[in-house]
A and B are shown apart, each in its own frame.
Chain A
Amino acid sequence: MVTKARIITLPARLSKTRQLNAYPWLTVVPVLVLVAFFTIYPFAYAAYLSTHKYLLIQPGNNPFIGTRNFEQVIGDELFGVSTRNALVFIALTVPAVTALGLAVALLANEKLRGMGILRALILLPWSIPLISTGIIWKLLLHGNIGALSGALMELGVIDSYIPWLSKTDLAMYSVSFAHIWREFPLPAILFLAGLQTIPAELYDAAAVDGANAWSRFIHITLPLLRAPLLVILIYETMISFSVFDLVYALTGGGPGSATTLLSWYAYTATFKFLNLGQGAALSFIMAAGIIVFILLYLKLVPQEEVSI
């Protein structure tokens, strides 16, 4: 009897052990395959493209050319222009988005009746397709039917409609304005979450010590928001650096090259001039640029000391 029982149970236990070993991989492999296939492999492929001559209009002629693609895109006149534009765009949007996000978070953190409605609204600009945002703002900023001009005229600020997007000296500000509307919700939410972790006792204690609202903000709130601040700066810089949909919908890089950002230059190299090698080289240059920014922020934003 004993022997028989062992014979019956042994295979069952064996198969169970094997199943337990296979289970983790069974759950992880589908994801690994998909991710490898649609991100890692294409990335390696892009590395290959960037070091080869690869024009779609000249199929079959793809010699290895080392760093020539990089030299050519950097040597192009548009590279300087679009790099400068990209930096201007970052300088216009990232601080604005961060400051507006913080202001909104401070407001939404007030314990007043009805603030719940505001907190619900904050997410909306962030939730819709960027391309819809772009077209909405195209209508708002239009030179003939633009509601922004209409409203400003009604208020007596301007006396004729302004084509915000087709004037060379205004286009960059206009695109930035639309971008800020779209992007401030995320910093607002992250700052709000940060504010909610600050214990009220800290403020009470400071108030007892006679600190006014401003000095409480400077000495308590800001230092305790360092962690979200760093994340927001890095993330928003990446977003501003790689902005595409908005430029596509609003200006197409124009007028002239007024809103040709580095990301738009990479897009045109790839999809207009079908020079895949140069497009790939540009995207690597952009990736390097992002890393430079991350290192810069890590240095600039004082880090909390590592604590338990």
Chain B
Amino acid sequence: MTRVDSRRGAILYLCAILLAFYILAPFLWSLIASIELETELFIKPTHFIPQQPTFANYLYVFTGQIPAEYAERGLLRSPITQEARFIPQGLANSFTVALSVTVINLIFGTLAAYTFARERFRGKTAAYFFVLGSRLLPAVAVAIPIYIIMKNLNLLDTKLGLVLMHSAFTLPFSIWVLTLYFQSLPSEIEDAALIDGCDRFGVLKNIVVPIAAPGLAAIGAFAFLFSYNEFLFALFTTQSLNSKTIPVMISAIGSNPDASYTLIAVGITLSIIAPIALALVFRRYIVSGLVTSFGR
């Protein structure tokens, strides 16, 4: 019996290690590629452990100091692109937009969801389905009209435009998850507070929000990830450094023939640090939010 158990355990651990490798290998490879010299990247068979690890490309992105190895290669090809110097600005844009979208979701999503969960008023069902129904529309279908609307409102190439657009895409989901979440909370304390003369907003602010922190953390994390990761709409509504987000920038670098593969790997690595950190820190809330929204 124990022998079967220990053999089973060994097989399971082997599977777990293989799975962890499958998940992590692509991340590790972009990290390795980002600190290898491009000349080393081209060596066959692949060097999986860099012989001369260098942070020169990271230094270039943040300071503009051109890596010495590239200068040596002379005039044949200088595999470097000014575009990579804009990565910090792209990250800053992405953070500004994603954090704004998160705050908007937390404030307006919470207000609306709490109303949907607890208030009775005429038109409530219609309003609720109006908000949720908008999620069913395919993104491609609204892409062109949104471009035209943004153009008419002078919102093209602005962070404000991105914030409004991403908020409109994330709020229905946030409201859905939060409404379910609020409905799952016992309402006795809230009712008592209402009878004592507290109004709805006071109850929400003083009683519900403090105990709803896990639900809020979930929708905040979703809103941030969605906005930070969103590519298609950011691609065709942004043009300049003023509003280009990090996905738009690294896609440009990734298809730029002047960019060395090392530099491309630097771009990828810098672009995935924030979402990975967020996914690890907020894992519990993200998972419970996903399970709530998709149902068991």
B294→A190 contact, CB < 8 A: yes
Binds A, one of B43-51, B62-70, B181-189, B208-216: B43-51
B254→A39 contact, CB < 8 A: no
Residues of chain B with a CB closer than 8 A to A146's CB? 46
Given the known interface contacts A30-B108, A41-B149, A123-B279, the answer about A150 and B261 at a Cβ–Cβ threshold of 8 Å is no
Residues of chain A with a CB closer than 8 A to B19's CB? 104, 107, 118
Residues of chain A with a CB closer than 8 A to B130's CB? 32, 35-36, 40
A161→B232 contact, CB < 8 A: no
B115→A147 contact, CB < 8 A: no
- Within B94-139, which residues are at the interface with A (CB < 8 Å)? 108-109, 111-112, 114-116, 119, 121, 124, 127, 130-131, 134, 137-139
For the complex, what is the distance from the CA of A197 to the CA of B295, rounded to whole Å? 12
The 8 A CB mask of B271-295 against A (1 = contact, 0 = none) is 1100110111001001100110011
Give the A-B contact count at a CB cut-off of 8 A. 271
Given the known interface contacts A24-B124, A32-B131, A147-B29, the answer about A193 and B115 at a Cβ–Cβ threshold of 8 Å is no
A127→B278 contact, CB < 8 A: yes
Residues of chain B with a CB closer than 8 A to A1's CB? none
B interface: dominant SS: helix
A129→B295 contact, CB < 8 A: no
Residue of A nearest to B194 (CB): A20
B276→A27 contact, CB < 8 A: no
B199 within 8 A of A: yes
| Closest chain A CB from B178 CB (angstroms) | 11
A127→B276 contact, CB < 8 A: yes
- Which of A30, A32, A124, A244 is B27 in contact with, Cβ under 8 Å? A124
B223 within 8 A of A: no
A144 within 8 A of B: yes
- Within A109-143, which residues are at the interface with B (CB < 8 Å)? 110, 112, 114-115, 117-140, 142
Interface residues on A, range: 35 or more
| Closest chain B CB from A41 CB (angstroms) | 7
The 8 residue pairs across chains A and B that have the minimum distance between CB atoms? A150-B46, A38-B168, A42-B145, A127-B279, A45-B145, A283-B141, A42-B142, A27-B111
B16→A118 contact, CB < 8 A: yes
Give the one of B148, B261, B265, B294 with max A CB within 10 A.
B294
B42→A37 contact, CB < 8 A: no
B251 within 8 A of A: yes
B16→A120 contact, CB < 8 A: no
Residues of chain B with a CB closer than 8 A to A35's CB? 130-131, 134, 168, 171-172
A107→B144 contact, CB < 8 A: no
For the complex, what is the distance from the CA of A35 to the CA of B137, rounded to whole Å? 12
| Closest chain A CB from B114 CB (angstroms) | 7
For the complex, what is the distance from the CA of A135 to the CA of B112, rounded to whole Å? 38
B291→A249 contact, CB < 8 A: no
B296 within 8 A of A: yes
Residue of B nearest to A274 (CB): B144
A49 within 8 A of B: yes
Residue of A nearest to B197 (CB): A16
For the complex, what is the distance from the CA of A223 to the CA of B2, rounded to whole Å? 30
| Closest chain A CB from B158 CB (angstroms) | 14
Residue of A nearest to B116 (CB): A28
Residues of chain B with a CB closer than 8 A to A150's CB? 44-46, 48
Given the known interface contacts A23-B201, A129-B231, the answer about A235 and B294 at a Cβ–Cβ threshold of 8 Å is yes
B164 within 8 A of A: yes
Binds B, one of A61-69, A167-175, A202-210, A262-270: A262-270
Residues of chain B with a CB closer than 8 A to A263's CB? 140
For the complex, what is the distance from the CA of A263 to the CA of B138, rounded to whole Å? 11
A90 within 8 A of B: no
For the complex, what is the distance from the CA of A271 to the CA of B276, rounded to whole Å? 32
B175 within 8 A of A: yes
